[in-house]
Chains A and B, each alone.
Chain A
Amino acid sequence: MKLLRSFAAKVVGHTLRLFARFITAVRADWQGIEPVPRQRVYYANHTSNGDMPMIWAVLPPALRRTVRPVAAADYWLANPVRAFVGPEVFNCVLVDRRPEVNDKPMDKILEALDEGSSLIIFPEGNRNMTDDPLLPFKAGLYNMGLARPEIDLVPTWVANLNTIMPKGEVIPLPLICTVTFGAPVHVREGESKDDFLKRAATALSDLRPDVEQPNAAAVTS
């Protein structure tokens, strides 16, 4: 049964990847780093539920096997299908965002890092529905960088997904999606939380492709 489930997870994973490739011709642009198997935290902008599968789909197989997206437990455990796809296909680190829970998200994240996994996180915390490129980052990225300073924090910009699948629409548009990986950042000696988060956010928003600019003005509906 367990074998069957893990086989099914592999099949679903491949299908999702092919589907993403067919619909959005998703492609990786490694600008600041090479796609080599090193422990990393990929931190990305978040505009759509498709963001995480896109990043996951463009990683080369060797990197994909060791990467674990950090995701909200309330979303991925909401029904049996998600409970299969989230933890078993994507191998998510599920964290509980409710403040009253004892189970602290940062403990689970550090635990996953200490097992040697790379992570995908969305430091804005929520999907960005505004016209600004990024929402203010939560402290999590800083805490990770402080606790495990040797790990590369890699800015990862997912372009176009808010147009491909905006909130409230049912049919995804088959437009081309590009995932851009920038040069890694680390917390500097004595750097304050706010300074670091600001610097990390700039490193991420600098990766926006130019072609998004003319459209950005038009998305003020």
Chain B
Amino acid sequence: MNSTVNMTSATSDLLLLFFGVIAILMALTLLGEVLRARQGIEPNNPVLETYMTRVHSWWGIVLLVGIALMTGRLAVIILFLFASFAALREFLTLTTKAQADHKSLALAFFAVLPLQYLFIWMDWEGLFTVFIPVYAFLLLPIVSALRGDANRYLIRVAETQWALMISVFCLSHVPALMTLSFNGIDDRSVLLIGFLVLVVQFGDLLEYFFGRRIGKTKIAPGLSPKTWEGLACGVGSAILIGALLNWITPFGVFGAMAMAGIASLVGMFGNLVFAAIKRDRGVKDWSHLIPGQGGFVDQLDSVVFAAPIFYHLTRYFWSS
């Protein structure tokens, strides 16, 4: 647009988005501090404290992702590669495994994970969409079987595959959005990452807020405190945010609302799936990597679930 500054419209939109989010975070932080001050010396309100720790971890996520998005493709891919590494580490710490799986697990960490991100960097769509569900799915169990230990074999290979699908395959579809191009313009696809992460995470935040305020009917009692009322409000807010952010997408207003709603809804149910896994393994959080917040997977679960669906819908309906 401005030839003297030599800034593309994508870069200026990205900057605008970044500072917009910073402004919202400042407002959210201020809101929490005001509520905290009003509550005075009363015992700590757990809902408020959870809200504040979430907002704090948000600052970290926004700064990291924002800087990576502005630095460029490679930075985004490396950032998500490390996120996948941390997520896979948390997941595989809790899965069933035997010494016979040592080589296949080492391959998962040190071969499958980097290769998946290499294929995304190479723009090799035909491979990164099938590499883990086909090649890793078939080859890693062979490596485990060669050691000749049949004890709980199916459980071991199935849980390893689940870990790879969630932590590497699904999560890698966030940076994979950068491989899409729209009407011959490919540098705007980086904005879709911002769109996806923002609608899903803000939807989550508001779902939590409204769920605590007006929530009554539990979706899955005994699994999660999530309520249908909170879910409806959360998805509704995500749709609204999607509409407001439609200028950074190729979707148009209604398309952006639909995509935001779908991503947010899938993300919230993904959150429920992760709650079931944690309950099954008898843990409250995936790890203690982020102080007071649990692990990487706790932070990313909804984005992880939404990413592949968001990617494929975008590709099918809008990509050129």
Which residues on A are within 8 Å of B, measured CB to CB?
Answer: 25, 27, 160, 163, 166, 169, 171, 173-176, 210-211, 214-215, 217-221
With both chains docked as a complex, state the minimum distance between the C-beta of A178 and any C-beta of chain B, in angstroms.
8
Contact A221 B288 (CB under 8 A): no
Give every chain A residue within 8 A of B85 (Cβ-Cβ): 174
Q: Is the CB of A175 within 8 A of B89?
A: yes
Contacts of B7 on A, CB cut-off 8 Å?
A: none
Given A211-B94, A218-B97, A221-B99: A174 in contact with B283 (beta carbons within 8 A): no
Chain B interface size, as a band, is: 20 to 34
**When the two chains form their complex, are residues B109 and A174 in contact, meaning their CB atoms are under 8 A apart?**
yes
A175/B96 contact (C-beta < 8 A), A210-B282, A211-B283, A218-B152 known: no
Contact B97 A176 (CB under 8 A): no
Q: Confirm or deny: B47 has a beta carbon within 8 angstroms of a beta carbon on chain A.
A: no
Of the residues A166, A176, A214, A218, contact of B287 by C-beta under 8 Å: A176
Chain B 261-286 residues near chain A, CB threshold 8 A: 281-283
Min CB distance, A65 to chain B, in Å?
24
CB closest residue in chain B, given A165: B102
Given A176-B89, A211-B281, are A171 and B287 neighbors across the interface (CB < 8 Å)?
A: no
Residues 82-97 (chain B) with a chain A CB within 8 angstroms = 85-86, 89-90, 92-94, 96-97
**Chain B at the A interface: SS class:** helix
Which residue in B93, B100, B288 is a CB contact (below 8 Å) of A160? B93
CB contacts (< 8 Å) of A175 on chain B: these are 89, 92-93
**B124 interface residue per 8 A CB criterion:** no
Q: Are B288 and A215 in contact (CB under 8 A)?
A: no
Pairs A–B under 8 Å by Cβ, sample size 27: A25-B289, A163-B97, A163-B99, A169-B99, A171-B102, A171-B106, A173-B102, A173-B105, A173-B106, A174-B89, A175-B89, A175-B92, A175-B93, A176-B90, A176-B93, A210-B282, A211-B93, A211-B94, A211-B281, A211-B283, A214-B281, A217-B152, A219-B99, A220-B98, A221-B99, A221-B100, A221-B149
For B96, the closest partner residue in chain A by CB is A218
> Which 6 residue pairs spanning A and B have beta carbons closest together?
A176-B93, A171-B106, A221-B149, A175-B93, A218-B152, A218-B98
A176 and B86 CA atoms in complex are apart in Å by: 10
Chain B residue nearest to A217 (CB atoms) is B152
Q: Are A215 and B97 in contact (CB under 8 A)?
A: yes
Residue of A nearest to B110 (CB): A171
The answer to the question of B156 belonging to the interface, with a C-beta cut-off of 8 Å to chain A, is yes
Q: Is the CB of A169 within 8 A of B102?
A: yes
- Whether B96 contacts A220 by the Cβ 8 Å rule is no
Q: How far is the CB of A215 from chain B (nearest CB, A)?
A: 6
C-alpha spacing A215/B102, complex, angstroms: 14
Give the residues in chain B near A221, CB-CB below 8 Å: 98-100, 147, 149, 151
Q: Using a CB-CB cutoff of 8 Å, which residues 146-177 of chain B contact chain A?
A: 147, 149, 151-152, 155-156
Closest residue of chain B to A169, judged by CB? Answer: B102
Docked CA distance A173–B95 (Å): 13
Chain B residues contacting A218 (CB-CB under 8 Å) are 96-98, 151-152, 155-156
In the complex, which of the residues B86, B93, B102 contacts A166, with contact meaning CB atoms closer than 8 Å? B102
CB neighbours (8 Å) of A219 from chain B are 98-99
Given A25-B287, A169-B102, 6 more pairs with CB closer than 8 A: A166-B99, A211-B281, A211-B283, A214-B96, A215-B97, A218-B156
